[in-house]
Amino acid sequence: MSLELKNVEKKIGLDTHIYPTNLKLEKNTINILLGSTLAGKTTLMQIMAGLDKPTSGEIWFNNENVTGMKVQKRNVSMVYQQFINYPNFTVYDNIASPLKITGVSSDETKQRVGKVAELLKLSGMLNKKPNELSGGQQQRTALARALVKDSDLILLDEPLANLDFKLREELREELPKLFENRDCIVVYATTEPSEALLLGGNTATLQEGKIIQYGKTLDTYNKPNSLVSAQVFSDPPMNIAKIKKSGDQCSFLQNDIQWKTKLNIKDGEYKVGIRPHNITTYKEGNNTLEIKGKVLISEISGSESLIHFTNGNLSWVSLSNGVFQKNVGDEMNLYMNTDEFVYFDQNERLVSNG
């Protein structure tokens, strides 16, 4: 089982929403489409499902050309950002609705709905209607409807985006388990890099209608093929600086901080990307290279502290574990881990990392 996009392009009027895209998704995988709003995630999913036709290119499923085939004939299910359920059906009828239409016997329906409801912790509320449920339960119902069907392709379009923090965390942890041992391809769109890392599988980074990189999630994260891909897969945004390398000495162009590298690349100018968590307010492990900073903004997020600081022309973000209170304008030392620097050439392609 595989889903393959061959040179798929989508234009609406003069706007290109999806540039020619090739992508092959394999059986039993979770594939994450990671990109900001308007990157083309939803459009791409709708093309995959058959809800929307590509302007050109083909979609192949199991070695069969399904381009233009109606969504009803494809065995697809989809979960949306909004909680989409039939408003005057009970939870049970909602979950059973895809089965009823395909004519599954009532005994089997009962059994399958019961199983899915248990998996999604909905067993106690099968007789309620969607507007009696919390947002999280409504989205669980929508997920159950998608799972009950044994689809070949399950599409999830930012399913957790409309949930509050706690419910999101809760459901996020359950999601990978839900897709285990299912004979299907899962496609999951999200704007959040942390969600991609949690779900594992494969990740495609998207920007402005182009797939920048596709591969195993950890590989995509650790070895971004370009600066754009690295930026899409970094939250808060990656810090970037121009550097100069000569011999084993590297230095920032904007200041005189130097470090040694074992990189085997030509001397010259490069760009370096530093993820916020590789700059910390304390010396720790390999975070040893010191940089002076003037605090611009200091914010606390959960048990982490985000400090936006400036150094000369550089305006960077650091992310440290623990809660620190810093005042705007404070001068402080921060520490960077040079092993985790990601090097890009002048064309912003990956040269090497570490």
Partner 1 sequence: MNKTVNQKAWFFVIPVFVLVAFNAIIPLMTVVNYAFQETFGNNVFMWEGTRWFKQIMLSERFHASLGRQFLFTFIILFIQIPLGIAIALTMPKEGIGVPVCLVLMSMPLLIPWNVVGAMWNIFALPDIGFLGHSLNALGFDYNFTQQIGDAWFTTILMDVWHWTSLVVLLSYAGLRSIQPAYYQAAEIDGASRWAIFTKIELPKMKKVLTIAILLRFMDSFMIYTEPFVLTGGGPGNATAFLSIDLVKMALGQFDLGPAAAMSLIYFFIVLLVCWVFYTLMMRNEEKS
**Residues contributing to the site for partner 1 (CB under 8 A):** 46, 49, 51, 71-72, 76-78, 80-82, 84, 86-89, 97-98, 101-102, 129, 131
Closer residue to partner 1 in complex, CB, 45/250: 45
Q: Which is nearer to partner 1, 74 or 308 (CB)?
A: 74
Least distance in Å: CB of 146 to partner 1?
A: 9
Long-range contacts (CB closer than 8 Å, 24 or more residues apart) made by 121-128: 122/91, 122/95, 125/91, 126/90, 126/91, 126/92, 126/95, 127/90, 127/91, 127/92, 128/90, 128/91
Per DSSP, what are the bridge partners of residue 331? 294
Nearer to partner 1, 103 or 302 (CB): 103
Of 221, 182, 214, 181, the residue nearest 198 (C-alpha): 221
- Which tokens belong to 221? 């994260």
Q: How far is the CB of 9 from partner 1 (least distance, A)?
A: 21
Report which of 106, 88, 87, 84 is spatially closest to residue 96, judged by C-alpha positions: 106
**Do 176 and 30 touch, CB atoms closer than 8 A?**
yes
Shortest distance in whole angstroms from residue 112 CB to partner 1: 15
Closest listed residue to residue 177, CA positions, set 198, 194, 156: 198
User: Which of residues 1 and 51 has its CB atom nearest to partner 1 in the complex?
Assistant: 51
Question: Phi/psi class of residue 159: alpha, beta or left (left: φ > 0; alpha: ψ in -120 to 50)?
Answer: alpha
Compute the chain's Rg from CA coordinates: 24
Residue number, 131 or 333, with CB nearest to partner 1: 131
Residue 45, Cβ neighbours under 10 Å: how many? 22
Minimum CB distance to partner 1, residue 95 (Å): 12
We find the least distance from the C-beta atom of residue 139 to partner 1, in angstroms, to be 12
Angle at 27 between CA 21 and CA 32, to 5 degrees: 50
Q: Which two tokens stand for residue 246?
A: 């000569």
State how beta strands 258-260 and 210-216 pair: unpaired
Closer to partner 1 by Cβ: residue 15 or 256: 15
**Which of residues 152 and 340 has its CB atom nearest to partner 1 in the complex?**
152
Least distance in angstroms from the C-beta of 80 to partner 1? 4
Least Å distance, CB 271 to partner 1, is 40
Q: Choose between 108 and 169: whose C-beta lies nearer to partner 1.
A: 108
